Amino acid sequence: MDEGMEATIGTKVIKLDETDSTNEYAKGIAPEVPEGTVVIAKRQTAGKGRKGRFWASPEGGLWMSVILKPQKVDPRLVFVGALAVADTLSDFGLAPGIKWPNDVWVAGKKIAGILTEGKAGEYTVLGIGLNVNNPIPPELRRDAISMMELIGTPLPLDRVLERLLFHLNAWYRIFKECPDIMMAKVRERTFILGRTVRIVEDDNVLIGRAVDVLDDGSLLLDIDGQLRRILYGDVSLRIP
């Protein structure tokens, strides 16, 4: 998308000092607001990841949710967020990789997470948490990192938001027009392909080599020579 193209995402931005979770706030207002409305909070008191897992959201990070009203719910919308975050990080000179299905990593650590929630036929909320200048809680420091830590200086949050909105608009447009092009970029940005991974789903654990991300968003796993398709759901992917 060139810079002059019409944007949907971010035309209306609701800025809050504090909320429980921008995803919860966004779900509350979704029926009444236009597509592309963004909710952003300086801090979240109950930021969450998938399956209600805790998401640390102190001041300094980018905690936001985008209200989308696609024609039908599509699990691949998570990749609109992951690619936009990855492109934003590249704009700041970092080298991001997507960890299928919903994380973005830099330098072997998690820098961002995406959480999509929605109501079929009505809306999808695309929640994005990006560690920018926020401190990382001590218990997460082994696995998580911020842009400030990587770059060595705090970044203007407005500028990061502006780049993120630009890339979200570009990828949402591509997703609507030709999702396979978007999936090709996901494949390029995914750093797990060719590696041995562990897929954890409730009590079930699968270990195999990540072979491909298919056009429908699923992961193709080679388990001792047998190919198995892993659907994007509530599975967690771990690198042993």
Q: Any contact of residue 53 with ligand ATP (CB under 6 A)?
A: yes
Q: Using CB under 6 A, pick the residue from 60, 118, 129, 217 that binds ligand BTN.
A: 129
* By CB under 6 A, residue 127 contacts ligand BTN: yes
The stretch near ligand ATP (CB under 6 A) out of 49-57, 147-155, 173-181, 207-215 is 49-57
Element (H, E) at 19: strand 13-19
Edge to edge, what strands does the sheet with 38-44 contain? 13-19, 38-44, 62-68, 123-130, 109-119, 103-106, 96-99
Question: 43 with 63: CB under 8 angstroms?
Answer: yes
Q: Which residues contact 138 (CB under 8 A, 6 or more apart)?
A: none
Of these, 1, 13, 49, 73, which contacts ligand ATP (CB under 6 A)? 49
Does 191 bind ligand ATP (CB under 6 A)? Our answer is no
Tokens of 21: 């979770």
Residues in the chain: 240
Return the number of the residue (115 or 170) whose C-beta is nearest ligand ATP: 115
* H helices present in 66-219, as ranges: 77-91, 147-151, 157-177, 179-189
When asked if residue 55 is in the footprint of ligand ATP (CB under 6 A), the reply is yes
Residue 209 identity: R
Nearest approach, Cβ of 56 to ligand ATP (angstroms)? 4
Specify the residue, 113 or 179, whose C-beta has the smaller distance to ligand BTN: 113
Nearer to ligand BTN (CB atom), residue 8 or residue 21: 21
Q: Which residues inside 162-221 make contact with ligand BTN, applying CB under 6 A?
A: none
d(CA 189, CA 98): 6
Residues 78-97 binding ligand BTN (CB under 6 A) are none
Q: Which residues bind ligand ATP (CB under 6 A)?
A: 49-50, 53-56, 102-103, 110, 113, 129, 131, 140, 144, 236-237
